[in-house]
Amino acid sequence: MWKRVEGAARALAEIEIWPVGLAIAASVFSKRAMPYALGLAALFWGLRWLAYRRLTARTPLDWPLALMALMLPVTMWATAYPELTRPPVLRLLTAMALYYALVNWASSTRKLRTMAALLAIAGLPLALSAPFTVEWFTTKRFLFPPSVYDRINEAVPLLSATAIHPNAMAAALAMLCALSWALWLFARREQSLWQRLLLGLAGTSTAGILLLSQSRGALLSLAASLPLLAMLRWRRAWWALAPLGLAGALALHLIGVRDVLDYLAAGGAVRGLDGRMEVWAGAIYAIQDFPLSGIGMGAFKEVIPVLYPFSSMGEANHAHNLFLQVAVDLGIPGLVAWLAMWIAVLLGAGELYREGGRRGDAWLRALGAGLLCSQVALGVHGLVDAGSWVTWPVLIVWALWGLTVAGVRLLPEPAAPSAATPTR
């Protein structure tokens, strides 16, 4: 009887990513679905205990992730607006659940390849839907006149009810763009015609929407991740990139550093570099005053203007910097935990890339390069925006982290050095 229970638990554990992933995807459209998604993920932890006598596989991110999880009750205690803090806390928990679901499910190279392809191609439907689902600013309705958007929203009310902020979409597409281009550039010979076509369309459409969106963070992330990807693919690519870098430096000098920084810093409610510096200053003051607890996730818009009033702008929804936002929300311990995980993923992606080169495995090399560049895009985009923290793109961040860790776990253990024979 017990063996049948174990067998059923193992069979269900083998499909964990699909029901958990679908439930978490549903929570993007309805926040009410987040507790149910977490409950379903907890159910699979119980099934894994029945099947393998362990709740989850051990990963390199366990300790910093545990520290971040411990900060969540602290942020609920510290916040003055629990109704604003609860949704981002649940969102972060669903991202953690997705990470563990992916790591536990991707226990073979075949599964790893399947998930990598799905994530790389996921940018295609996102990019195709962006003209209709993103809440473009008035000056950025670049594809259709406003009347077309109004008619679409009337016909499909769900689109207007779940409108996506442009910077949130840019954060998601910037990471997926790097992964899709990497798989297309490095491993075309190992792919079918349909795979090459889908990856090419995904890379082209994501890059196109990022350029048309006029998101400053997106432009910076593309300028950092795609040249890096080219250098990883072709060792002599820096010969072509060096003149472009010199031309960019000359243009920066001719236009003026201040004017360029003002353009890159402007966006949404923030007016130029001075406005962004003022927001960053408020965030730094909050970190100094609440270093161990933060002010509470989701409370930036309400708390910062009260404690540290802005002089040149009325309000800001977030810190407009990913690293400052994590520290403002969860204190310095939360930032340390996030940075530890991000750096571990960067190192893991680099290990996959190097191992692919040593083996002559084009696909593994492509995966490592794509994941590495996706994390560079995340970090560069995070310098001017926090759209990948506790909005829906955080799910893509943690899915890519899970994919990286799953890949590293499948690498063979390094051989132990043999003991040298003593000489007389």
Note the pLDDT of residue 113.
94
Determine the Cα–Cα distance for residues 143 and 91; give it in Å rounded to an integer.
32
Note the pLDDT of residue 40.
95
Q: For a pLDDT cut of 70, what percent of the chain falls above it?
A: 81
Please tell me whether residue 96 adopts helix, strand or coil conformation.
Answer: helix
CA 297, 318, 102, 353 torsion-angle sign: negative
Q: What is the domain count for the chain?
A: 1
> What would the pLDDT profile of 44-69 be if each residue is shown by its tens digit?
999 999 988 888 999 999 999 999 99
Query: Is 319 part of a structural domain of the chain?
Result: yes
Note the pLDDT of residue 386.
87
Query: Is 25 part of a structural domain of the chain?
Result: yes
Cβ neighbours for 14, distance < 8 A, ≥ 6 positions apart:
105
Question: Both tokens of residue 307?
Answer: 């404690």
Instruction: Identify residue 348 by its one-letter amino acid code.
Output: G
Query: Is 257 part of a structural domain of the chain?
Result: yes
Cβ neighbours for 31, distance < 8 A, ≥ 6 positions apart:
87, 90
Helix, strand, coil % over all residues of the chain, rounded to 5: 75, 0, 25
Closest of 330, 252, 253 to residue 291, by C-alpha:
330
Query: Is 416 part of a structural domain of the chain?
Result: no
User: What range defines the domain where residue 110 resides?
Assistant: 2-145+153-410
Q: For a pLDDT cut of 90, what percent of the chain falls above it?
A: 53
On whether the CB atoms of residues 267 and 216 are closer than 8 A, the answer is yes
Q: What is the pLDDT along the chain (424 residues), one digit of tens a residue?
A: 778 888 888 898 889 999 999 999 999 888 899 999 999 999 999 999 998 888 899 999 999 999 999 999 999 999 999 999 999 999 999 999 999 999 999 999 999 999 999 999 999 998 888 877 777 654 445 555 555 555 655 555 544 445 677 778 888 999 999 999 999 998 877 778 888 899 999 999 998 888 877 677 788 888 889 889 988 988 776 666 666 656 555 655 455 544 445 555 555 555 556 677 888 999 999 999 999 999 999 999 999 988 988 876 667 888 889 999 999 999 999 999 999 999 999 999 999 999 999 999 999 999 999 999 999 999 999 988 888 888 889 999 999 999 999 999 999 866 555 544 444 4
Query: Is 418 part of a structural domain of the chain?
Result: no
Query: Is 419 part of a structural domain of the chain?
Result: no
On whether the CB atoms of residues 54 and 30 are closer than 8 A, the answer is no
Query: Is 80 part of a structural domain of the chain?
Result: yes
pTM, rounded to two decimals: 0.89
Mean residue pLDDT of the chain comes to 84
- Strand-pairing partners, residue 134, are 164
Closest of 42, 99, 28, 30 to residue 397, by C-alpha:
99
Q: Got the DSSP string for 267-282?
A: BTTB-HHHHHHHHHHH
